[in-house]
Structures are given as C-alpha cells and as structure tokens.
Amino acid sequence: MGNTVRKTISLPPDLAEQVDDLARAEGKSASAVIREALRIAGKVRQKEELRRAQGYWSRIARERGLLSEEDLEQFLAE
C-alpha cells in the first residue's frame, strides 16, 4: 500500500481472536481484515442514511399529495 497511516487500536481479546482467525482463514493480514470491515461499515451507514432521507422525502411527498410521478411533474410545473 503506497500511502498509509499507522494507527494503534485496542480490541477486546475475543474480537482480536476473531480478527486473527479471519485473517488466517482468508490469507490476509489483520490490517486488511479490519480495513474491509470498516469499508463495509461505511457502506452500511450510507445505505441507512439514504433510507432515512428517502423516508423523509416520501413523507413530505405524501403530505403534499404527490403520489405518482405525474403528480410530481405537475407540482414542479406549477
């Protein structure tokens, strides 16, 4: 890896063992396992934020009676 920043993290023993076991099973370093886990966690967080935003805007649309694309197009044309 070209540009990396070294960080020291603390893990409870059971989680550290899981990281080591997974790294061994996948032929990766512990750092690679943790990087992948953080990337996945970030994607999950983004999806949750998107769902919240969709829920918010869906609620606003329903409150304004915008129930179809045609309703939205008409609303935007006004």
Domain ranges for the chain: 13-77
Contact indicator for 33, 22 with CB cutoff of 8 Å: yes
Q: What string of pLDDT tens digits covers the 78 residues of the chain?
A: 578 899 999 999 999 999 999 999 999 999 999 999 999 999 999 999 999 999 999 999 999 999 998 988 888 888
pTM: 0.71
pLDDT at 1: 57
Handedness of CA 68, 73, 76, 78 (dihedral sign): negative
C-alpha to C-alpha distance for 13 and 73, rounded to whole angstroms: 57
- Taking the C-alpha atoms of residue 30 and residue 8, their distance in angstroms, rounded to an integer, is 12
